[in-house]
């Protein structure tokens, strides 16, 4: 299975299920930026239920369609502090938050210019935490129809992702019930090194 995926912000569990079972991974880096996708957002399990964490990006109306690799992060907002505080509130009581905290924290202290660079660093961090090999290629041009690939670029759009996965214990599960297919961080903080085995057991629709 030669996957074609978008590099998204701390991707969904479905994204990592695909990656954990792939023979080869290629990331789409020549596409246009699309709003309302996981390119600059992730979903976590907060004390109040599902919470969206969104990274503000700079929009250039004069440029028209903007390639995602050219999209810059908006620095006028202290989104990093807000996101890390939200992760602490959500996962401080989880079994593995403290174990991985020092791996995750630097991403929220570094000042990235480009959204895509941040996403690739997030992917590197998580795969290391999972103990998962991470070799990949990048596209050199954009193809609407990706011949020769298992095209799972649609996973970047959470609304089109219909995958349902095996339940695992979540911090606020007793309060709000199980929430499916959140950011990979939810699985990592709750399952730790067992997360990779979980990813390999799941099936994509």
First-to-last C-alpha distance (Å) of the chain = 15
In the prediction, which pLDDT does 160 show?
Answer: 86
Q: What is the mean pLDDT of residues 30-35?
A: 93
Each residue's pLDDT tens digit, 36-76: 999 999 999 999 999 999 999 998 776 668 999 999 999 88
Mean pLDDT of 89-109: 97
H helices, E strands: number in the chain: 7, 6
**pLDDT value of position 63:** 63
> What was the pLDDT predicted at 193?
86
* 137 has pLDDT over 70: yes
Span 182-186, mean pLDDT? 98
What are the Cα distances from residue 1, in Å, to 71, 79, 92, 150, 194? 30, 36, 36, 7, 23
Tokens 């961090």, residue?
125
Mean pLDDT of the chain: 95
Give the count of beta carbons closer than 10 Å to the beta carbon of residue 40: 24
13 has a pLDDT exceeding 80: yes
Count of C-beta atoms within a 10 Å radius of residue 81: 11
Asked if pLDDT for residue 149 goes beyond 70, the answer is: yes
Say what the pLDDT of residue 1 is. 74
């Amino acid at each position: 299975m030669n996957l074609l995926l978008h590099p998204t912000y701390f991707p969904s569990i479905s994204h990592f299920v695909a990656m954990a079972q792939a023979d080869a991974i290629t990331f789409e880096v020549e596409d246009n930026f699309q709003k309302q996708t996981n390119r600059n957002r992730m979903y976590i399990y907060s004390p109040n239920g599902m919470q969206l964490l969104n990274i503000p990006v700079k929009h250039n109306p004069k440029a028209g369609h903007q390639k995602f690799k050219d999209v810059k992060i908006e620095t006028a907002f202290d989104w990093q502090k807000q996101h890390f505080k939200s992760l602490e509130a959500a996962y401080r009581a989880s079994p593995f938050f403290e174990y991985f905290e020092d791996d995750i924290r630097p991403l929220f202290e570094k000042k990235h210019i480009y959204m895509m660079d941040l996403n690739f660093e997030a992917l590197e961090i998580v795969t290391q935490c999972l103990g998962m090999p991470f070799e990949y290629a990048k596209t050199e041009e954009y193809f609407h129809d990706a011949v020769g690939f298992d095209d799972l670029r649609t996973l970047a759009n959470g609304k089109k992702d219909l995958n349902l996965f095996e339940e695992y214990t979540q911090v606020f599960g007793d309060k709000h019930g199980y929430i499916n297919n959140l950011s990979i961080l939810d699985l990592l903080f709750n399952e730790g090194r067992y997360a990779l085995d979980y990813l390999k057991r799941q099936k994509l629709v």
